Amino acid sequence: MMDTSNEVAVRCRGVTKSFGVGAACTQALRGVDLDVPPGELVMLVGPSGCGKTTLISVIAGIMTPDEGQCTLFGRDVSSLDKRELSRLRGQTIGFVFQAFNLVPTLSVAQNVAVPLLINGVPRPLALERARECLSDVGLGDRCEAKPLDLSGGQQQRVAIARAVVHRPRLVVCDEPTSALDHKTGASIMEMLKSLVVGDGKSLIIVTHDQRIFNYADRMAHMDDGRIESVTHAAT
């Protein structure tokens, strides 16, 4: 397949996804078309239940679409076998889940080190990088804590550190500032954006948080399982 990595980081065409069957069937995605250019921060906005989490899960290869195509840096995700997909995911994508998904039995630093360990980084180095990354999100002094001993906002920052520690080409965040005050949210956005700018990396952020809209290069407006419009940020 042609490598279009210089033109587009993520390309979705006609992506559909439904859950359940018969009367209980919910059509979460009804034919999504979306392009995310490299080096851009695209915010995905829309009402609760419109399909945002489902869409980014498909983009990140966590869910398989029913129909349509999703390419990541020129590679058709659906053409990959399980091993190729998990390798692509492990190396290329960082994901911040809406519910954080931290491992409660691991320390904060161990949680953040997971993507590095998956990619074969030796444990001492992985933990060292995890600690550096935690200090970037203002948690350098909580590395040995367990996630559940932290506040919601602190857990959210651990989840963000884990998503970026391996310097992935695509970072996908589901409501990354929902539990943060304005000042912390702004510094997290600065940190996320500094990873992307000038480096050809891409960021997709699902958010309701109007306070961070000014960080977007583009806003993708979603409603009822479709992208209705994509607007460029005012400069």
The residues binding Mg ion (CB under 5 A) are 53
SS3 49: coil
CB under 5 to 8 A by kind: which of Mg ion, ligand ATP, none does 78 bind? Answer: none
| Cα(197)–Cα(191) distance, integer angstroms | 10
| Cα(218)–Cα(207) distance, integer angstroms | 13
Report which DSSP code applies to 51.
S
| Cα(233)–Cα(15) distance, integer angstroms | 25
Residue with tokens 């806003």: 219
- Asked if residues 12 and 67 have their Cβ atoms less than 8 Å apart, the reply is no
CB of 206 to Mg ion, least distance (A): 6
Binding region for ligand ATP (CB under 6 A) out of 51-59, 108-116, 187-195, 211-219:
51-59
CB of 18 to ligand ATP, least distance (A): 8
- Asked if residues 137 and 177 have their Cβ atoms less than 8 Å apart, the reply is no
| Mask for 143-182, x = binds ligand ATP (CB under 6 A) | ----------------------------------------
Distance linking the first and last C-alpha atoms of the chain: 36
Residues 84-123 that bind ligand ATP (CB under 6 A): 98
* 54 versus 107: smaller Cβ distance to ligand ATP: 54
Task: Give yes or no for residue 52 binding ligand ATP (CB under 6 A).
Answer: yes
Task: Give yes or no for residue 50 binding ligand ATP (CB under 6 A).
Answer: yes
Exposure on the CB side of residue 26, measured as CA atoms within 13 A: 8
CB of 29 to ligand ATP, least distance (A): 8
Q: Which residues bind ligand ATP (CB under 6 A)?
A: 19-20, 26, 28, 48-54, 98
